[in-house]
C-alpha cells in the first residue's frame, strides 16, 4: 500500500513535469522514501536528504524521483546527469555513496525484468578524476572533467572499465558484454524512471547527504530535483498572498 501511494504520488509528479525549459521539482516529504530524512544544509535550497540506513544492516536508502511507464523520452535525449553528495569523509575505496539508476521500459528484448528493460547505474564509486573533500558538497557528473561518472547496466556490478555516458550512447562503442550490452541500442531505450539509492550491502556503514539531482536534455531542457525539509513559497506566491491580504484589508475598509 505504501509502495502504491509512492507510485501514485510519483506518477502525478511525472505528469506535472512540463516539457520545456528548466523544471525545478522540490521534493519535501522524505517520509515517502526509504530510509532518508531531511537535514539542514543543501547544495541548492535550504536542506538536503541524508541516508538513515546507517546502523541498520541490510537496509538501504532508496526512492523514485519520477516514474512514467508511458514516457516517450529516450536515453539518447539525455545529454548529462549530475547530482551532489556530501559525506563526513573524503571519497575512498571502502566507502560507497548514493548513486542514481535510470530504468528503461521493457520491450521484450534483453530486458532485465518483466517490469523494466535496463537499469543503468551512475555510481561515484567508479568515477574518473575523483576530487572529493570531507563535509563538502561534491558534484558527480556524466560530463568530462572532475568526478566524471561511469555507467553500467545491472546486473553488472560496475567497474573502472565501464563506459562513460557518451560512450554508452555511441553505437560505435565496443561494449564488453558485462558493463554494457552490444545487443542493446541504449540511445533508443525509453526512460521508465529515475531512482536514487545506496547499496544494501553497505547500508549499515553509509553516512551522507544527497541534493540537486539534474537531468539535462539535448534540446536544452533540464529537470532539477531539489531535496528539501519543507517547501518555501515561491516569491511570486508570497507577492500574490501579500496582494490578497491588501485587497482583503481594503475590502474591509470600504
**Which parts of this chain interact with Ca ion (CB under 5 A)?**
42, 44-45, 48, 107, 109-111, 117, 211, 226-228
E-strand stretches of the chain: 22-27, 36-40, 47-51, 62-67, 78-86, 99-104, 119-122, 137-141, 151-154, 191-197, 209-217, 222-227
Is cis: bond before 163, omega within 30 of 0?
Answer: no
* Nearest-angstrom CA–CA distance, 62 and 119: 14
- Tell me the chain's radius of gyration from C-alpha atoms: 20
Q: Which is nearer to Ca ion, 126 or 184 (CB)?
A: 184
Query: Which residues sit opposite 148 in a β-bridge?
Result: 128, 141
Any idea which residue has 525484468 for its cell? 113
Cell of 116: 523494466
Q: Which is nearer to Ca ion, 109 or 129 (CB)?
A: 109
Label the pairing between strands 119-122 and 36-40: unpaired
Q: Which is nearer to Ca ion, 19 or 231 (CB)?
A: 231
* Nearest-angstrom CA–CA distance, 61 and 34: 5
Q: How far is the CB of 48 from Ca ion (least distance, A)?
A: 5
* Nearest-angstrom CA–CA distance, 53 and 37: 10
Q: Which is nearer to Ca ion, 42 or 203 (CB)?
A: 42
Q: How far is the CB of 248 from Ca ion (least distance, A)?
A: 33
Q: How far is the CB of 164 from Ca ion (least distance, A)?
A: 21
Q: How far is the CB of 75 from Ca ion (least distance, A)?
A: 12
Q: How far is the CB of 230 from Ca ion (least distance, A)?
A: 11
Q: How far is the CB of 211 from Ca ion (least distance, A)?
A: 4
The answer to whether residues 141 and 130 touch, using CB atoms and an 8 Å cutoff, is no
Q: Which is nearer to Ca ion, 66 or 125 (CB)?
A: 66
Q: Which is nearer to Ca ion, 143 or 228 (CB)?
A: 228
CA 191 from centroid of its chain's CA atoms? 13
Q: Which is nearer to Ca ion, 115 or 160 (CB)?
A: 115
E-strand stretches of 155-219: 191-197, 209-217
Amino acid at each position: 500500500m505504501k509502495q502504491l501511494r509512492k507510485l501514485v504520488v510519483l506518477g502525478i509528479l511525472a505528469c506535472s513535469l512540463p516539457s520545456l525549459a528548466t523544471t525545478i521539482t522540490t521534493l519535501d516529504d522524505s517520509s515517502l522514501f526509504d530510509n532518508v530524512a531531511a537535514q539542514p544544509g543543501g547544495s541548492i535550497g535550504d536542506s538536503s536528504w541524508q541516508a538513515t540506513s546507517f546502523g541498520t544492516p541490510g537496509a538501504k536508502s532508496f526512492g523514485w524521483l519520477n516514474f512514467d511507464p508511458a514516457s516517450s523520452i529516450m536515453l539518447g535525449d539525455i545529454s548529462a546527469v549530475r547530482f551532489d553528495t556530501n559525506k563526513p569523509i573524503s571519497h575512498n575505496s571502502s566507502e560507497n555513496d548514493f548513486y542514481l539508476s535510470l530504468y528503461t521500459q521493457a520491450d521484450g528484448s534483453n530486458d532485465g525484468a518483466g517490469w523494466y528493460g535496463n537499469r543503468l547505474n551512475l555510481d561515484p564509486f567508479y568515477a574518473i578524476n575523483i576530487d572529493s573533500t570531507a563535509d563538502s558538497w561534491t558534484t558527480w557528473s556524466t560530463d568530462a572533467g572532475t568526478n566524471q561518472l561511469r555507467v553500467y547496466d545491472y546486473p553488472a556490478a560496475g567497474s573502472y572499465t565501464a563506459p562513460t555516458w557518451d560512450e554508452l550512447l555511441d553505437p560505435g562503442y565496443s561494449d564488453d558484454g558485462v558493463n554494457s550490452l552490444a545487443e542493446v541500442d541504449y540511445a533508443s531505450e525509453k526512460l521508465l524512471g529515475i531512482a536514487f539509492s545506496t547499496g544494501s550491502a553497505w547500508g549499515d556503514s553509509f553516512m551522507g547527504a544527497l541534493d540537486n539531482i539534474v537531468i539535462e536534455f539535448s534540446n536544452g531542457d533540464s529537470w532539477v530535483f531539489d531535496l528539501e525539509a519543507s517547501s518555501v513559497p515561491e516569491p511570486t506566491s508570497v507577492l500574490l498572498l501579500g496582494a490578497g491580504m491588501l485587497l482583503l484589508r481594503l475590502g474591509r475598509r470600504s
